Amino acid sequence: MTNSNQFFFSLFILSLLLLLSFSSLSSADVPPSSPVSTGTICSYTPYPSFCRTQLPKNNSANVYDCGRLSVRKSLSSATKFLALINKYLSHSSSLTPAAVAALKDCELLASLNLDYLSSSLQTVSNTSSSPLNVLKADDTQTLLSGILTNTQTCLDGLKATASAWSSRNGIYAPLANDTKLFSVSLALFTKGWVPKNKNGTLKHGTKKHLPVVNGTLPLKMSSHHKAVYESMRGRKLLQSSSSDGAVLVSAMVVVSPDGSQNFTTISDAVAAAPNNTNGSTGYFLIYVKAGVYEEYVSIPKNKKYLMMIGDGINQTIITGNHSFVDGWTTFNSATFAVVGLGFVAVDMTFRNTAGAIKHQAVAVRNGADLSTFYSCSFDAYQDTLYAHSLRQFYRECDIYGTVDFIFGNAAAVFQDCNMYPRLPLQGQFNAITAQGRTDPNQNTGTSIQNATIRATDDLAAANFTVQTFLGRPWKLYSRTVYLQSYMDGLIDPAGWHPWDGDFALNTSYYAEFDNRGPGSNTSNRVTWPGYHIITATDAANFTVSNFLAGDDWLPQTGVSYTDGLV
């Protein structure tokens, strides 16, 4: 090639690169309502090649039309998967107990996915081609995030307890395809319907609460229910003249182990609650008197807006001992499990007594959107609190555990809570969190604000020879932040521990802001690309107001909270 030809060829290549660069930049700035190629639309998703197989090949599509189509296809695919699960369960006599247990978890999770996708499809079908308001967008982004979490949980359970059976029966392929399709739906919803200015502004927090009298929530109920509650609990409620804005209670039952009240078991009281209430008439209140309740309690999806109040931490205790070692899936090892919308628990202890030797043994599994735990204790070892999915708030709670003792993929804020790492098995280390975000568009993560982290007596007696870390990345996009918290000297100077080699060290998001105490020194922290020491502006994105849209739903619970930074 002559020098002249080389010059013109180089100029051509440079022009082509500039054109491609300009096209790439400009396509990112194209409004979602503008017609573009489906290839451009699919470039917004984590799976562009798969996305192109799901969308019609044309050059006049827009994000909104493609997003609606993707959600419709997701609903169809989820329906087929549930039918597949039910087909296998109809022949359960030929399956191992482990396979049946995993499939039953998948059945529950798949049925929830149908609900979430039906709601999401209604939203995208009935809205114009423009971003939604922040609250409505957060509702649907939460559901689409939860669908991915449910699918991953099903997959994890099958791999852990029935891997050989699942491989033989070809169940992994539909799960993998569903995961990609759900991810495409979430990405297109995020691109089209979620406003770009979703994150809130920096503000110092204001503590918001209704007046608490004698340590109880300000409940507004009928004179009959009020008299029963006061006589049972020995605490006076607010007088009706001063109870404007108090928590509305529609009905109440009392649980007592001695048989003197409405029910002797919590499960029977839950079964008596009305189905599918919308919360506008108030909470169905279950008052659980002091005692030890040896039962496994489940709050299903049709039991919405239940409020459960006990007589205090270590007074009202729900306890069980299911564990992974004894044949339960981690998901279904929980002593207490809840998926019912708007659940509130106050003044209770939830316990799993399986012990460290039994490995995964969950005290509480929470997959309830807009759920709140106030002044509660969670007591176990490995995998104590499974903050599974959707939006959750914990205030003034005590959480005890060893390995990954707060884990899951909810959007969860823990405020003014006490974290108590305890002595694990020999050779183990403690990890307070193991967050499970699997997709960059999920609005999930664990935010721990103004917490106190101290060793239990048995761990302290070991003179900190057991390492304790703030967390480790369970899934690829794991996200956890510690804000304005006290960390005692038990925290390892590195702060964070890898999961497996360099897995997720680039893609996870771990951050610390304005923490205090001997364990908060960040000078020797890990140097992963995913680890950050953040500013107040960044930290504000993980507060109750911004991360949970908490100002929209927490006031009705009566639980105190701080909306921004402390």
Report the catalytic residues. Answer: 404
Closest CA to 557 of 391, 426, 432: 391
Q: What does each C-alpha distance from 250 to 222, 283, 470, 478, 555 come to in angstroms?
A: 8, 6, 41, 40, 17
- Find the distance separating the first CA and the last CA of the chain, reported in whole Å: 69
E strands, 116-225, where? 207-208, 219-220
Rounded to whole angstroms, how far apart are CA atoms 269 and 250?
15
Please tell me the number of Cα atoms within 13 Å of 404 on its side-chain side. 23
- How far is it, in rounded angstroms, from Cα 165 to Cα 171? 9
How many CA atoms, within 13 angstroms, populate the side-chain half-sphere of residue 232? 22
**Dihedrals phi, psi of 266, to nearest 5 degrees:** -70, -35
Q: Decide: 482 and 470 in contact? Cβ < 8 Å.
A: yes
Tokens of residue 424, six digits = 């694990």
* Cα distances (Å, whole numbers) of residue 113 to 45, 102, 159, 181, 264: 20, 16, 20, 13, 34
Number of H helices and E strands in the chain, helices first, is: 13, 29
Residue with tokens 């039309």: 65
Helix axes of 172-192 and 134-161: crossing angle, nearest 10 degrees: 170
Closest residue by Cα to residue 432 from 440, 422, 441, 444: 422
Of the candidates 291, 340, 337, 296, the one whose C-alpha atom is nearest the C-alpha of residue 317 is 291
Question: Between β-strands 479-483 and 445-449, what pairing exists: parallel, antiparallel or unpaired?
Answer: parallel
Q: How far is CA 155 from its chain centroid?
A: 17
Q: Over the range 413-441, which residues count as b (16 or more CB within 10 Å of their CB) and which as e?
A: bbbbbbbbbbbbeeebebbbbbbbbbbeb
